[in-house]
Amino acid sequence: MNFLPFPENISTFGVELDELAHLITIITMTAFVIAEGILLYFILKFRKKPGVKADYIPGNSWKQLKWIFIPLVVIVGLDLFIDEKNTHAWTLIKQNIPEKTHYELVEITGQQFSWLFRYPGRDGLLGTSDDFTSTNELRIPVNETVVFYLKAKDVLHSFFVPAMRFKQDAVPGRTIKGWFDATKTGTYEIACTEICGAGHSLMKANLIVQSKEEFKQWFESEAGKVTLPAPGDKKAPEIAPSAASGEHNTAAAKTEHQVASGKDLLQAKGCLGCHSLDGSKLVGPSYKGLMGRKEMVLTQDKEHEVTVDEDYLRRSITEPNADVVKGFSGIMPKTPLSEEELTAIVNHLKDLK
Protein backbone atom coordinates (compact mmCIF):
# COMPACT_ATOMS: atom_id res chain seq x y z
CA MET A 1 0.00 0.00 0.00
CA ASN A 2 1.39 3.37 -0.86
CA PHE A 3 -0.83 6.23 0.29
CA LEU A 4 1.85 8.69 1.44
CA PRO A 5 2.55 11.42 -1.16
CA PHE A 6 6.18 10.36 -1.72
CA PRO A 7 7.79 11.09 -5.10
CA GLU A 8 8.46 7.95 -7.15
CA ASN A 9 11.28 5.89 -5.61
CA ILE A 10 14.15 4.57 -7.74
CA SER A 11 16.58 3.10 -5.18
CA THR A 12 16.59 -0.36 -3.59
CA PHE A 13 16.84 0.91 0.02
CA GLY A 14 14.15 3.53 -0.75
CA VAL A 15 11.58 0.73 -0.75
CA GLU A 16 12.56 -0.18 2.82
CA LEU A 17 12.31 3.47 3.85
CA ASP A 18 8.85 3.83 2.32
CA GLU A 19 7.68 0.67 4.09
CA LEU A 20 8.95 2.07 7.40
CA ALA A 21 7.15 5.36 6.76
CA HIS A 22 3.89 3.57 6.03
CA LEU A 23 4.26 1.33 9.09
CA ILE A 24 4.82 4.37 11.33
CA THR A 25 1.86 6.13 9.71
CA ILE A 26 -0.49 3.24 10.37
CA ILE A 27 0.56 2.86 14.00
CA THR A 28 0.77 6.52 14.95
CA MET A 29 -2.25 7.71 13.00
CA THR A 30 -4.52 5.08 14.56
CA ALA A 31 -3.25 6.10 18.02
CA PHE A 32 -3.79 9.75 17.05
CA VAL A 33 -7.33 9.20 15.78
CA ILE A 34 -8.28 7.14 18.84
CA ALA A 35 -6.91 9.78 21.22
CA GLU A 36 -8.62 12.66 19.36
CA GLY A 37 -11.84 10.69 19.23
CA ILE A 38 -11.81 10.04 22.97
CA LEU A 39 -10.96 13.68 23.63
CA LEU A 40 -13.82 15.02 21.50
CA TYR A 41 -16.23 12.42 22.91
CA PHE A 42 -15.38 13.38 26.49
CA ILE A 43 -15.70 17.10 25.73
CA LEU A 44 -19.14 16.69 24.20
CA LYS A 45 -20.44 14.10 26.69
CA PHE A 46 -19.32 15.69 29.94
CA ARG A 47 -20.40 19.28 29.31
CA LYS A 48 -21.56 21.09 32.44
CA LYS A 49 -25.21 20.10 33.09
CA PRO A 50 -26.98 22.01 35.88
CA GLY A 51 -27.16 20.03 39.12
CA VAL A 52 -24.75 17.32 37.99
CA LYS A 53 -21.46 17.26 39.90
CA ALA A 54 -18.22 15.85 38.51
CA ASP A 55 -16.81 12.63 39.98
CA TYR A 56 -13.88 12.61 42.38
CA ILE A 57 -11.26 10.45 40.58
CA PRO A 58 -7.84 11.76 41.65
CA GLY A 59 -6.02 8.96 39.87
CA ASN A 60 -3.65 8.09 42.69
CA SER A 61 -4.54 4.42 43.05
CA TRP A 62 -3.37 1.65 40.76
CA LYS A 63 -6.99 0.76 39.90
CA GLN A 64 -7.55 4.23 38.44
CA LEU A 65 -4.07 4.67 36.98
CA LYS A 66 -4.32 1.52 34.93
CA TRP A 67 -6.36 3.57 32.43
CA ILE A 68 -3.13 5.41 31.68
CA PHE A 69 -0.53 2.70 32.04
CA ILE A 70 -2.18 0.06 29.85
CA PRO A 71 -2.33 2.28 26.76
CA LEU A 72 1.18 3.43 27.68
CA VAL A 73 2.51 -0.13 27.61
CA VAL A 74 0.83 -0.64 24.23
CA ILE A 75 2.47 2.56 22.91
CA VAL A 76 5.89 1.47 24.25
CA GLY A 77 5.48 -1.93 22.60
CA LEU A 78 4.59 -0.39 19.23
CA ASP A 79 7.45 2.11 19.57
CA LEU A 80 9.92 -0.71 20.14
CA PHE A 81 8.55 -2.48 17.07
CA ILE A 82 9.03 0.68 15.00
CA ASP A 83 12.52 1.14 16.41
CA GLU A 84 13.49 -2.43 15.48
CA LYS A 85 12.35 -1.92 11.87
CA ASN A 86 14.08 1.45 11.79
CA THR A 87 17.39 0.08 13.07
CA HIS A 88 17.26 -2.56 10.34
CA ALA A 89 16.68 0.08 7.65
CA TRP A 90 19.30 2.44 9.10
CA THR A 91 22.07 -0.16 9.28
CA LEU A 92 21.26 -1.20 5.71
CA ILE A 93 21.46 2.36 4.34
CA LYS A 94 24.06 4.11 6.43
CA GLN A 95 26.22 1.65 8.23
CA ASN A 96 27.43 -0.99 5.82
CA ILE A 97 27.97 -1.12 2.06
CA PRO A 98 26.43 -4.20 0.39
CA GLU A 99 28.99 -6.84 -0.70
CA LYS A 100 29.36 -6.50 -4.47
CA THR A 101 32.13 -7.51 -6.82
CA HIS A 102 32.22 -4.22 -8.72
CA TYR A 103 31.50 -0.76 -7.38
CA GLU A 104 31.05 2.43 -9.37
CA LEU A 105 33.15 5.11 -7.63
CA VAL A 106 32.44 8.81 -7.53
CA GLU A 107 33.74 11.63 -5.35
CA ILE A 108 31.14 14.32 -4.61
CA THR A 109 32.32 17.72 -3.40
CA GLY A 110 29.84 20.33 -2.26
CA GLN A 111 31.01 23.90 -2.50
CA GLN A 112 29.34 27.25 -2.29
CA PHE A 113 26.58 27.02 -4.72
CA SER A 114 27.50 24.05 -6.94
CA TRP A 115 28.24 20.30 -6.80
CA LEU A 116 31.48 18.86 -8.28
CA PHE A 117 31.55 15.17 -9.24
CA ARG A 118 34.83 13.34 -9.92
CA TYR A 119 34.93 10.01 -11.73
CA PRO A 120 37.85 7.54 -11.40
CA GLY A 121 38.84 7.53 -15.09
CA ARG A 122 40.00 4.45 -17.01
CA ASP A 123 42.18 3.02 -14.21
CA GLY A 124 39.15 2.83 -11.94
CA LEU A 125 40.97 4.54 -9.09
CA LEU A 126 40.06 7.92 -7.66
CA GLY A 127 42.84 10.38 -7.04
CA THR A 128 44.89 9.27 -10.01
CA SER A 129 45.88 11.56 -12.85
CA ASP A 130 43.32 10.20 -15.32
CA ASP A 131 40.24 11.22 -13.26
CA PHE A 132 37.79 13.54 -14.94
CA THR A 133 35.20 15.77 -13.31
CA SER A 134 31.81 17.20 -14.17
CA THR A 135 29.85 20.00 -12.49
CA ASN A 136 26.21 19.87 -11.38
CA GLU A 137 25.68 16.64 -13.36
CA LEU A 138 26.11 13.14 -11.87
CA ARG A 139 25.84 10.19 -14.25
CA ILE A 140 25.51 6.67 -12.89
CA PRO A 141 24.69 3.34 -14.55
CA VAL A 142 21.38 1.72 -13.65
CA ASN A 143 21.24 -1.26 -11.23
CA GLU A 144 24.82 -0.62 -10.13
CA THR A 145 25.97 0.08 -6.54
CA VAL A 146 27.68 3.47 -6.50
CA VAL A 147 30.11 4.09 -3.66
CA PHE A 148 30.61 7.80 -3.04
CA TYR A 149 33.07 9.89 -1.05
CA LEU A 150 31.22 13.01 0.09
CA LYS A 151 33.26 16.08 0.94
CA ALA A 152 32.63 19.81 1.36
CA LYS A 153 35.06 22.52 0.34
CA ASP A 154 33.98 25.48 2.44
CA VAL A 155 30.75 25.24 4.46
CA LEU A 156 28.21 22.55 5.37
CA HIS A 157 26.19 21.23 2.45
CA SER A 158 23.78 18.32 2.20
CA PHE A 159 23.47 15.95 -0.76
CA PHE A 160 19.76 15.19 -1.15
CA VAL A 161 18.17 13.10 -3.91
CA PRO A 162 14.40 12.89 -3.21
CA ALA A 163 13.89 10.19 -5.84
CA MET A 164 16.44 7.92 -4.13
CA ARG A 165 15.26 8.85 -0.57
CA PHE A 166 18.90 9.63 0.10
CA LYS A 167 20.42 12.50 2.04
CA GLN A 168 23.82 12.96 3.61
CA ASP A 169 25.45 16.13 4.93
CA ALA A 170 28.80 17.10 3.49
CA VAL A 171 31.10 18.41 6.21
CA PRO A 172 34.37 20.26 5.51
CA GLY A 173 37.24 18.28 6.99
CA ARG A 174 35.57 14.89 6.64
CA THR A 175 35.20 12.35 3.84
CA ILE A 176 31.92 10.52 4.37
CA LYS A 177 31.84 7.20 2.59
CA GLY A 178 28.50 5.65 1.63
CA TRP A 179 26.56 4.07 -1.18
CA PHE A 180 23.41 4.43 -3.22
CA ASP A 181 22.00 2.81 -6.34
CA ALA A 182 19.31 3.41 -8.92
CA THR A 183 16.94 0.90 -10.49
CA LYS A 184 15.35 3.16 -13.11
CA THR A 185 16.90 5.31 -15.82
CA GLY A 186 15.98 8.97 -16.16
CA THR A 187 16.94 12.43 -14.93
CA TYR A 188 16.34 13.32 -11.29
CA GLU A 189 17.05 16.40 -9.16
CA ILE A 190 19.78 16.77 -6.57
CA ALA A 191 19.41 19.51 -3.96
CA CYS A 192 21.42 21.02 -1.11
CA THR A 193 19.36 20.96 2.12
CA GLU A 194 21.86 22.42 4.62
CA ILE A 195 21.80 26.22 4.49
CA CYS A 196 25.09 27.26 2.91
CA GLY A 197 24.78 30.96 2.23
CA ALA A 198 23.06 33.29 -0.21
CA GLY A 199 23.13 30.92 -3.19
CA HIS A 200 21.75 27.96 -1.23
CA SER A 201 18.54 27.93 -3.26
CA LEU A 202 20.43 27.90 -6.58
CA MET A 203 22.59 24.88 -5.71
CA LYS A 204 20.90 22.32 -7.95
CA ALA A 205 22.42 19.38 -9.82
CA ASN A 206 20.99 16.68 -12.06
CA LEU A 207 21.29 12.95 -11.50
CA ILE A 208 21.25 11.18 -14.87
CA VAL A 209 20.76 7.40 -14.59
CA GLN A 210 21.78 5.73 -17.87
CA SER A 211 21.71 2.20 -19.15
CA LYS A 212 25.04 0.36 -18.94
CA GLU A 213 25.94 0.80 -22.61
CA GLU A 214 25.10 4.50 -22.70
CA PHE A 215 27.06 5.03 -19.49
CA LYS A 216 30.04 3.07 -20.83
CA GLN A 217 30.02 5.08 -24.03
CA TRP A 218 29.79 8.40 -22.19
CA PHE A 219 32.52 7.26 -19.79
CA GLU A 220 34.89 6.40 -22.63
CA SER A 221 34.29 9.72 -24.38
CA GLU A 222 34.96 11.70 -21.21
CA ALA A 223 37.97 9.59 -20.14
CA GLY A 224 39.50 10.08 -23.60
CA LYS A 225 39.51 13.89 -23.25
CA VAL A 226 41.83 13.80 -20.20
CA THR A 227 45.46 14.70 -21.31
CA LEU A 228 47.63 12.16 -19.52
CA PRO A 229 51.01 13.51 -18.23
CA ALA A 230 54.21 11.48 -18.93
CA PRO A 231 53.20 7.81 -18.49
CA GLY A 232 55.96 7.16 -15.92
CA ASP A 233 54.28 9.49 -13.47
CA LYS A 234 51.13 7.36 -12.97
CA LYS A 235 50.45 7.24 -9.24
CA ALA A 236 48.01 4.62 -7.97
CA PRO A 237 47.03 5.33 -4.39
CA GLU A 238 44.49 2.96 -2.78
CA ILE A 239 40.76 3.66 -3.07
CA ALA A 240 40.24 6.31 -0.38
CA PRO A 241 41.80 9.24 -2.19
CA SER A 242 41.33 11.75 0.56
CA ALA A 243 44.10 11.15 3.02
CA ALA A 244 46.50 9.74 0.49
CA SER A 245 47.19 12.36 -2.15
CA GLY A 246 47.84 15.81 -0.82
CA GLU A 247 45.93 18.37 -2.85
CA HIS A 248 43.67 16.05 -4.76
CA ASN A 249 41.47 18.98 -5.57
CA THR A 250 43.27 20.06 -8.71
CA ALA A 251 41.97 18.11 -11.69
CA ALA A 252 45.23 16.57 -12.93
CA ALA A 253 47.86 15.65 -10.31
CA LYS A 254 50.32 18.36 -11.38
CA THR A 255 54.02 17.81 -11.56
CA GLU A 256 55.98 20.26 -9.38
CA HIS A 257 55.68 23.72 -10.94
CA GLN A 258 53.67 23.24 -14.16
CA VAL A 259 50.33 25.07 -13.46
CA ALA A 260 47.20 23.23 -14.64
CA SER A 261 45.62 24.71 -17.74
CA GLY A 262 43.04 27.47 -17.35
CA LYS A 263 40.25 25.12 -18.44
CA ASP A 264 41.05 22.56 -15.73
CA LEU A 265 41.29 25.34 -13.13
CA LEU A 266 37.80 26.59 -14.09
CA GLN A 267 36.60 23.05 -13.43
CA ALA A 268 38.53 22.40 -10.24
CA LYS A 269 37.82 25.72 -8.56
CA GLY A 270 34.12 25.19 -9.28
CA CYS A 271 33.72 28.22 -11.60
CA LEU A 272 31.78 26.06 -14.10
CA GLY A 273 29.38 25.29 -11.26
CA CYS A 274 27.83 28.73 -11.68
CA HIS A 275 29.12 30.01 -15.03
CA SER A 276 28.27 27.99 -18.15
CA LEU A 277 30.47 27.73 -21.26
CA ASP A 278 27.62 27.34 -23.75
CA GLY A 279 25.80 30.66 -23.07
CA SER A 280 23.02 29.18 -20.85
CA LYS A 281 22.18 31.33 -17.78
CA LEU A 282 23.13 29.49 -14.57
CA VAL A 283 23.74 31.07 -11.17
CA GLY A 284 26.16 33.47 -12.80
CA PRO A 285 26.59 35.02 -16.29
CA SER A 286 27.90 32.70 -19.02
CA TYR A 287 31.52 32.74 -20.25
CA LYS A 288 30.53 32.34 -23.91
CA GLY A 289 32.07 35.13 -26.04
CA LEU A 290 33.04 36.98 -22.86
CA MET A 291 35.96 39.09 -24.15
CA GLY A 292 34.95 42.58 -25.39
CA ARG A 293 31.27 42.05 -24.51
CA LYS A 294 29.29 45.09 -23.27
CA GLU A 295 27.79 44.42 -19.79
CA MET A 296 25.36 46.52 -17.68
CA VAL A 297 26.99 46.42 -14.25
CA LEU A 298 25.94 47.65 -10.80
CA THR A 299 28.75 49.14 -8.71
CA GLN A 300 27.54 50.29 -5.29
CA ASP A 301 24.07 50.05 -6.99
CA LYS A 302 25.04 52.72 -9.57
CA GLU A 303 24.25 51.24 -12.96
CA HIS A 304 26.84 51.79 -15.69
CA GLU A 305 28.03 49.97 -18.77
CA VAL A 306 31.47 48.36 -18.92
CA THR A 307 33.30 46.57 -21.73
CA VAL A 308 34.82 43.28 -20.56
CA ASP A 309 38.63 43.52 -20.69
CA GLU A 310 41.50 41.91 -18.86
CA ASP A 311 41.53 44.07 -15.70
CA TYR A 312 37.69 43.80 -15.41
CA LEU A 313 38.09 39.99 -15.47
CA ARG A 314 40.93 40.13 -12.95
CA ARG A 315 38.99 42.50 -10.66
CA SER A 316 35.76 40.48 -10.80
CA ILE A 317 37.67 37.33 -9.76
CA THR A 318 39.55 38.89 -6.86
CA GLU A 319 36.72 41.29 -5.81
CA PRO A 320 33.66 39.31 -7.03
CA ASN A 321 30.94 41.51 -5.58
CA ALA A 322 32.52 44.88 -6.47
CA ASP A 323 30.53 45.17 -9.74
CA VAL A 324 27.64 42.78 -10.18
CA VAL A 325 26.19 42.13 -13.63
CA LYS A 326 22.56 43.33 -13.85
CA GLY A 327 20.02 40.55 -13.26
CA PHE A 328 22.37 38.47 -11.08
CA SER A 329 22.80 38.57 -7.29
CA GLY A 330 26.21 39.31 -5.77
CA ILE A 331 26.79 35.94 -4.08
CA MET A 332 30.08 34.85 -5.71
CA PRO A 333 32.44 33.71 -2.94
CA LYS A 334 36.07 34.86 -2.87
CA THR A 335 38.13 31.81 -3.92
CA PRO A 336 41.81 31.91 -2.89
CA LEU A 337 43.91 31.78 -6.09
CA SER A 338 47.67 32.02 -6.52
CA GLU A 339 48.98 34.62 -9.00
CA GLU A 340 49.80 32.02 -11.74
CA GLU A 341 46.35 30.39 -11.37
CA LEU A 342 44.69 33.82 -11.75
CA THR A 343 46.65 34.67 -14.91
CA ALA A 344 45.99 31.15 -16.30
CA ILE A 345 42.21 31.58 -15.82
CA VAL A 346 42.14 35.12 -17.22
CA ASN A 347 44.17 34.09 -20.31
CA HIS A 348 41.81 31.13 -20.84
CA LEU A 349 38.71 33.33 -20.52
CA LYS A 350 40.16 35.85 -22.98
CA ASP A 351 40.39 33.42 -25.89
CA LEU A 352 37.01 31.74 -25.21
CA LYS A 353 34.69 32.11 -28.19
Partner 1 sequence: MTAHQATAHAEHDYHGHPNYFKTYFALLLLFSLSLAAGYLDNILMALLLIFGMALIKMMYVVNNFMHLRFEPLSIWFAVAFGLVCCFIFYFGVYPDILWVPLEVAH
Partner 2 sequence: MATEVKQHSVSPHNHHSELSFWRKYIFSTDHKVIGMQYLLTGLIMVFVGGFFAYVFRMQLAFPGQGIPLYGKLDANAYNMMITMHGTIMIFWVAMPLLVAAFGNLLIPTMIGADDMAFPTLNMISYWVFFISTVVLILSMVLPGPMAAGWTAYPPLSANGYPAQIDFWGSIGGSLWILAVALEFVAFLIGGINFLVTTFNMRAPGMKLMDMPITVWMMNIAVLVFMFSVGPLVAGAVMLLFDRSFGTGFYNPAVGGDPILFQHFFWFFGHPEVYVILLPGLGMVAEVIATMARKPLFGYKAIIYASIISGFLSFIVWAHHQFIAGIDPRMAVFFSFTTIMISVPFAVWMFAAIATLWKASITLNTPMLFALGFIGEFLLGGVTGIYLGASAFDIYAHDNYFVVAHFHYALIPDVFFGGLAAIYFWYPKFVGRMYNETLGKVHFWLTTLGFNMIFLPLFYNGLKGEHRRIFDYSAWPSLMSADMTQNRVIATVGMLILCAAQIPFVINMIHSARKGVKAERNPWKANSLEWVTASPPPHGNFETYPSVYRGPYEYSVPGREEDYWPQHLPQ
Q: Which of residues 175-214 bind partner 1 (CB under 8 A)?
A: 175
Amino acid at residue number 14: G
Put residue 345 in one of left, alpha, beta given phi > 0 → left and psi -120 to 50 → alpha. Answer: alpha
When binding is defined by CB under 8 A, the residue of 154, 214, 222, 295 that contacts partner 2 is 154
Q: How far is the CB of 219 from partner 2 (least distance, A)?
A: 27
Q: By CB under 8 A, what part of segment 158-217 binds partner 2?
A: 158, 160, 162, 165-174, 176, 189, 191, 193-202, 204
**Gap between the Cα atoms of 212 and 216, Å rounded:** 6
Residue 149: name the closest of 219, 239, 215 by CA: 239
Q: Which does 241 bind (CB under 5 to 8 A by kind): partner 2, partner 1, none?
A: none
Helix (H, G, I), strand (E, B) or coil at 72: helix
Nearer to partner 1, 181 or 194 (CB): 194
Length of the chain: 353
Residue 245 makes contact with partner 2 by CB under 8 A: no
The amino acid present at 243, given as its one-letter code, is A
Cα gap 151→166, rounded to integer Å: 16
What does 236 bind: partner 2, partner 1, none (CB cut-off 5 to 8 Å by kind)? none
245 lines the binding site for partner 1 (CB under 8 A): no
With H, G, I as helix, E, B as strand and everything else as coil, classify residue 180. Answer: strand
Binding test (CB under 8 A) with partner 1, winner from 122, 153, 263, 348: 153
Question: Which 35-74 residues touch partner 2, going by CB under 8 A?
Answer: 35-36, 38-39, 42-43, 46-49, 52-60, 64-65, 67-68, 71-72
- Report the residue number, 51 or 224, with the smaller CB distance to partner 2: 51
Which of 7, 172, 186, 289 forms a contact with partner 1 (CB under 8 A)? Answer: 172
243 binds, among partner 2, partner 1, none (CB under 5 to 8 A by kind): partner 1
R_g (Cα) of the chain, nearest Å? 28
Q: With 0-12 CB in 10 A as exposed, 13-18 as middle and 19+ as buried, what is 85? A: middle
According to the binding rule CB under 8 A, does residue 82 interact with partner 2? yes
Segment lying near partner 1 (by CB under 8 A), choices 37-45, 158-166, 170-178, 311-319 = 170-178
Measure the CA–CA gap between 154 and 169, rounded to whole angstroms.
Answer: 13
175 binds, among partner 1, partner 2, none (CB under 5 to 8 A by kind): partner 1
Query: Within 13 Å of residue 343, how many CA atoms lie on the same side as its CB?
Result: 3
| Cβ distance to partner 1 smaller for residue 249 or 321 | 249
Angle at 249 between CA 247 and CA 254, to 5 degrees: 65
Report how far residue 120's alpha carbon sits from residue 248's, in angstroms, rounded to the nearest whole number. 12
Contact, 334 vs 294, CB < 8 A? no
Q: Which partner from the list partner 1, partner 2, none does 15 bind, CB cut-off 5 to 8 Å by kind?
A: none
* Stretch of residues binding partner 1 (CB under 8 A), selected from 197-205, 230-238, 241-249, 296-304: 241-249
Binding partner of 75, given partner 1, partner 2, none, CB within 5-8 angstroms per partner class: partner 2
Q: Compute CA 67 distance to the chain's CA centroid, rounded to the nearest angstrom.
A: 48
Residue selected from 12, 24, 122, 286 as contacting partner 2 according to rule CB under 8 A:
24
Strands (E), 67-204: 104-111, 114-119, 132-135, 137-141, 146-152, 157-161, 166-170, 176-180, 186-192
CB 109, min distance to partner 1, A: 9
Q: Which does 39 bind (CB under 5 to 8 A by kind): partner 1, partner 2, none?
A: partner 2
Which residue among 151, 165, 200, 269 contacts partner 1 (CB under 8 A)?
A: 151
Beta strand pairing call for 137-141 and 176-180: unpaired
Binding at 317: pick from partner 1, partner 2, none (beta carbon under 5-8 Å per type): none
